Structure 1
Amino acid sequence: MCRPSSRTTPTTWACPRATAAPPSRPRRPAARPFTRQFLSTGVTVLGKTRLPEFGFSPSTEYEDAEPVRNPWHTDHSAGGSSGGSAALVAAGAVPIAHANDGGGSIRIPAACCGLVGLKPTRGRVVANAQGRQLPIDLVTDGVLTRSVRDSAAFLAAAERHWRNPRLPPVGLVEGPAARRLRIGLLVDSPNGVTSDADTREAVTETARRLNGLGHTVEPVEVSIDRHFTDDFLTYWGLLSFLIGVTGKTLGTDFDRRRMDGLSRGLRERYLRSWRTTPTVLRRLKRTREAYAAGFRGLDVILSPVLAHTTPPLGHLSPTVPYVTLIERLLNYVAFTPVDNVVGTPSLALPSATTTPSGLPVGVMLSARPGAERTLLELAFELEAAQPFRRLQDV
């Protein structure tokens, strides 16, 4: 959100009988375009929430500060990068909070904290200026909520402020549709990561429920380039490199030597492989064709959000050596990045399944570009069939 500039006290030189000039008001920087769209929905901004350094990690943890804890079980991660937002919404402190998603940062904390998290189609909401300057704009803004109703209401209100004419309008979605859908079931990640038992149960149980509601659910294979994971990491490393180069624009005290272990590791990875950048970009952009092929004859793909359930704090800490940390990260965040590269909409929902310690397990619905209405209608139907558990109900 916007911050006021520092306040100064003007000095007035005048004779004793003169009326002192009123103090000048500090100039406030202009709100960014998405901030204006967000505020146009009528939300009241209470403050800032925490996120991991530069939003790179799927867990909101730090080298030298307290982590953001999961309200469902405070020894576990709240996810990331929008972990602070998720923790506040899940705890009932606020009904809605801003989040954004460049590799899963809306959907991951939604899955960890039992929330609804919609990553809109690229271009659905106002894009940020930095993203437009990058070769592939991965980041889309959105919100985290406790109900499908609130996520749908936000998107409809945001659309009244600005609507992309190149995408079909969403409008206000208020419930399920009568149309029955063809849904693809994807249990293991397209890049070869196998989901754990609790996650598999959550997805297959959701598939059974959708079948019972009259939808057709069938297994699907999504083929992506075998280099996708390495290419995505290289691109993530490019972002870390650019932050290191331009960091002084964030504040004059920025020192890239103080970047945490994950940020440094990504940056160093890029410096070792920067010559491959044109090839990496070309392959990532081709992912759209392969992903579209997976949707042939289907309306939606059902999958896990994450390959395994929410880890304990420390598992993804930036203090973990980079080689170990990146292996753990890739075995966790194995489903969400494809939608960021392709630009397709994707929605995380709580499933009926929980872990043995009572933590939520999320499932993900993905669709073609512009199909947010289909996702929200299907989510309304799932929520009505099995109301989402809330922390306050436990």
Structure 2
Amino acid sequence: MRFDEYSRCDGLRLAQLVADREISAAEALEAAIARAEAINPRLNAIVARMDSIARERAREPLSGPFAGVPFLEKDLGQEYAGVPCSYGSRGLKRTGFAPSVHAEITERWLKAGVLIFGRTNTPEFGLQLVTESAAWGPARNPWSVDLTPGGSSGGSAAAVAAGIAPLAGANDLGGSIRVPAAVCGLFGFKPGRGRTPWGPERGEMLFGSAVNHVISRSVRDSAAMLDATQGPELASAFQLAPPQRPYLEEVSREGERLRIAFSTRAPFGEPVGREASAAVDAAAKLLASLGHEVEPATPAIDGETLLDDFGSLLFTGAALLVAEAKRRAGCRDGDFEPDTRLLARLGHTLRADELAASLDRCQDYVRIMNVFHRRYDVYMTPTTATLAPHIGETSTPRALAAFAAAAARLGLSRAILSSGRVRALLRFKIAWAPFTELANLTGAPAMSVPLHWTADGLPMGIHFMSRASDEGLLFRLAGELERAQPWFDRRPPA
């Protein structure tokens, strides 16, 4: 199968060709492997190859909606039994840590029929919105290799944008599906809290703020894969009502007239670039032309408090993941990057009552958004405030890193936490992508849709949030937008 033939297909189309015996699963896989060998040295999107595993599986009878479709997993939280998993960490890479069982999300992907032939680049423990780990080096954006593909699912986004696979595994703690999709010209859907599994070791990740799913080129691939993976598991903290109908059906349904609020005001007060504002204005005009009621409005949430509460979850997550790496693989403090060590120290310094207060405020944000959604069905913003940063542009400033290291040596982590410098660090790290975190703290479904390209040909995404558990509404809207302003054939030059 030639690359030009392979790249014209989304995952469901490839599966149909395999089912109709127009091509074999092995032919589809070899096309994916050939593309990876040709382009991955430039992009560093894939950090571990599983070609032999995938080739053996391609010879077996396969079933499911994606039977015979090449697929990549993120090297974080999507474990494959017996295959080394680094979580983007030097320590886990050094020790060759390999899980003994599949993650539940991996099991469900395999039941859907995919051929997993590699693992994608991610920052250490997924704690950054760029993909530039010390373990593997930076992943690069196919639209311009000097730019980041975002994070933490940057390797997956780069691989899909470059045509290595039609869709790839991703997960999202603060925008890690939607931000990479936005800057790579792809569709990125974050399901709501509890919609996809985290097992078998845990029922949810970081109080439900993080979720598993995919990054894809087509809306229908994302919908069909969520159909294949959604639903409770043995460790689920609670059981959501099943969707009213398959998400794949929602994509082609005629959408209702929606009330859509839009804003370009960043929640933390960061400046929003002219390109992002122009992208939202154009999207608002497109939606109005499709018959939707569109008007400017912003939910009444205090951005500074939201930033602090997101920081509490991030610090707690860093402390948990570092402790697990030490326990499971014998990693040492020196194995972790300075940013990770700082975040973990802050997690250990955070008092229990402070974490509990942050979690309580997350329920306040849910209430505020529920009130907001009485008036509006959807909340629209840019996905990112600016274009993708250059590689290295968001590295922690030396002065701040030196201050943090010195304070840690003196046992002054509590002083760092209360100094205001932590907020400055958080603001610096996420200033270019401040719109996505709200959906994680509230557990709402959200998506980034590739509706805008700059005059220089760089993509920017538009972000949409809906009510809790209303993934179907977002898929209907995404399908409508995809038909009105198609993006599938837009390809990066790399």
Per the normalisation by structure 1, the TM-score is: 0.86
1:268 aligns with 2:345: yes
The answer to whether the 8 Å contact 1:61/1:67 transfers is yes
Q: What are the within-5 Å matches in structure 2 for residues 116-155 of structure 1?
A: 116-128=187-199, 132=203, 136-155=207-226
User: More displaced, 200-209 or 264-273?
Assistant: 264-273
Equivalent-residue separation in structure 2 for 1:364 and 1:91 (angstroms):
22
Equivalent-residue separation in structure 2 for 1:48 and 1:181 (angstroms):
39
The answer to whether the 8 Å contact 1:61/1:318 transfers is no
The structure whose Rg is larger is 1
Using a 3 Å threshold, how does the CA distance of structure 1 residues 295 and 371 change in structure 2: closer, same or farther? same
The answer to whether the 8 Å contact 1:131/1:139 transfers is no
Residue 370 (structure 2) aligns with = 292
1:204 aligns with 2:303: no
The answer to whether the 8 Å contact 1:201/1:353 transfers is no
Q: What are the within-5 Å matches in structure 2 for residues 358-377 of structure 1?
A: 358-377=457-476
Residue 280 (structure 1) aligns with = 358
Equivalent-residue separation in structure 1 for 2:83 and 2:224 (angstroms):
33
Residue 15 (structure 1) aligns with = none
1:57 aligns with 2:132: no
Partner of 2:150: helix, strand, or coil?
coil
Name the aligned partner's letter for residue 128 of structure 2: S
- The structure with the greater share of residues assigned to helix is 2
Using a 3 Å threshold, how does the CA distance of structure 1 residues 70 and 383 change in structure 2: closer, same or farther? same
Equivalent-residue separation in structure 2 for 1:175 and 1:90 (angstroms):
24
Greater relative CO (CA pairs within 8 A, separation 6+) = 1
Cα displacement string for residues 109-140 of structure 1 (whole angstroms, at most 9, x for unaligned residues): 00110100100011212233555366622111
Cα displacement string for residues 202-239 of structure 1 (whole angstroms, at most 9, x for unaligned residues): 11100100000111101112122441101211221111
The answer to whether the 8 Å contact 1:90/1:390 transfers is no
Partner of 1:4: helix, strand, or coil?
coil
1:346 aligns with 2:446: yes
Q: Which sections of structure 1, spanning at least 5 residues, go unmatched?
A: 7-26
Alpha-carbon distance, 1:28 to partner: 8.7
User: More displaced, 118-127 or 197-206?
Assistant: 118-127
Equivalent-residue separation in structure 1 for 2:110 and 2:265 (angstroms):
39
Residue 306 (structure 2) aligns with = 228
**Residue 97 of structure 1 is aligned with which of 168, 177, 201?**
168
1:309 aligns with 2:387: yes
Superposed CA RMSD: 2.6
Equivalent-residue separation in structure 2 for 1:211 and 1:316 (angstroms):
36
1:330 aligns with 2:407: no
1:87 aligns with 2:158: yes
The answer to whether the 8 Å contact 2:451/2:487 transfers is yes
Per the normalisation by structure 2, the TM-score is: 0.70
The answer to whether the 8 Å contact 1:121/1:344 transfers is yes
Cα displacement string for residues 40-88 of structure 1 (whole angstroms, at most 9, x for unaligned residues): 2211111111100000000000246431000000000011101111110
1:188 aligns with 2:265: yes
The answer to whether the 8 Å contact 1:40/1:161 transfers is no
Equivalent-residue separation in structure 1 for 2:429 and 2:489 (angstroms):
27
The answer to whether the 8 Å contact 1:135/1:281 transfers is no
Question: What is the identity percentage for the equivalent residue pairs of Structure 1 and Structure 2?
Answer: 33
Q: What are the within-5 Å matches in structure 2 for residues 39-54 of structure 1?
A: 39-54=110-125
Residue 70 (structure 1) aligns with = 141
Equivalent-residue separation in structure 2 for 1:300 and 1:363 (angstroms):
12
Residue 481 (structure 2) aligns with = 382
The answer to whether the 8 Å contact 2:160/2:217 transfers is yes
1:218 aligns with 2:289: no
Using a 3 Å threshold, how does the CA distance of structure 1 residues 28 and 359 change in structure 2: closer, same or farther? closer
Using a 3 Å threshold, how does the CA distance of structure 1 residues 236 and 84 change in structure 2: closer, same or farther? same
Partner of 1:277: helix, strand, or coil?
helix
Name the aligned partner's letter for residue 193 of structure 1: E
Partner of 1:218: helix, strand, or coil?
strand
User: More displaced, 338-347 or 380-389?
Assistant: 380-389
Partner of 2:116: helix, strand, or coil?
coil
Partner of 2:312: helix, strand, or coil?
helix
Equivalent-residue separation in structure 1 for 2:206 and 2:429 (angstroms):
24
Equivalent-residue separation in structure 2 for 1:318 and 1:109 (angstroms):
20
Equivalent-residue separation in structure 2 for 1:248 and 1:150 (angstroms):
37
